[in-house]
């Protein structure tokens, strides 16, 4: 089957999440929004959880690309931290319901699938942080790539801050300063 159908189904899932949230989304909602059939859905995905995982995987890949594009590796380390946070916040602002689904609805994938998805996703973001902090510019400033554990602590805090801000209906851009400050404190120059 053409990949165009798969993309339409992912867009249908996203549309339904935006309209009613993931917990209330059914396969019928997805295929209606995608203007496809249930047969087409099941030709691409085993179930709606697999469709959600695929949507969130693609969304996270775009978020990572947006963060990388936002960072000027020639800028000072504190500027790079702010640019990375701004890139992530920009991605979250682009589609708050999908961002919230990544943070809050992944457990609905089922314990084993959710854990695997979460580990793979976090690994991509940990690698991103380690890559962004492993540059001559940052090394000269005394910044070193964080351990995977430190990067995970940072990511967990930033994700929760974004989620509570979206859930409270507040402007996600308002968290740029505290998020950048916390990131600078956690990743800043070490002896």
Residues 80-128: tens digit of each pLDDT: 999 999 999 999 999 999 999 999 998 888 888 888 999 999 999 999 9
What separation in angstroms does the CA of 57 have from each of 53, 106, 122, 173?
Answer: 6, 11, 11, 23
Give residue-wise pLDDT tens across range 19-49.
999 999 999 999 999 999 999 999 999 999 9
Largest CA distance in the chain: 60
Distance CA 178, CA 99 (A): 19
Write down all domains in the chain, each with its CATH number in brackets. 1-45 (1.10.10), 48-187 (1.10.357.10)
Q: Are 17 and 25 in contact (CB under 8 A)?
A: yes
């Amino acid at each position: 089957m053409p990949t165009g159908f798969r993309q339409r189904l992912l867009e249908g899932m996203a549309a339904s999440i935006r309209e009613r949230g993931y917990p209330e989304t059914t396969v019928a909602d997805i295929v209606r929004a995608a203007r496809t059939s249930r047969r087409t859905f099941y030709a691409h995905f085993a179930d709606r959880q697999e469709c959600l995982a695929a949507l969130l995987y693609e969304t996270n890949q775009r978020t990572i690309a947006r963060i990388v594009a936002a960072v000027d590796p020639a800028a000072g380390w504190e500027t790079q931290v702010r640019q990375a946070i701004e890139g992530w916040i920009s991605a979250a602002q682009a589609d708050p319901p999908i961002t919230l689904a990544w943070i809050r609805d992944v457990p609905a994938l089922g314990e084993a699938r959710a854990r695997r998805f979460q580990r793979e996703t976090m690994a991509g973001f940990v690698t991103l942080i380690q890559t962004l902090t492993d540059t001559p510019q940052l090394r000269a400033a005394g910044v070193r790539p964080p351990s995977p554990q430190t990067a995970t602590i940072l990511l967990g805090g930033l994700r929760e801050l974004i989620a509570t801000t979206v859930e409270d209906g507040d402007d996600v851009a308002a968290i740029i300063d505290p998020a950048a400050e916390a990131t600078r404190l956690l990743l800043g120059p070490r002896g």
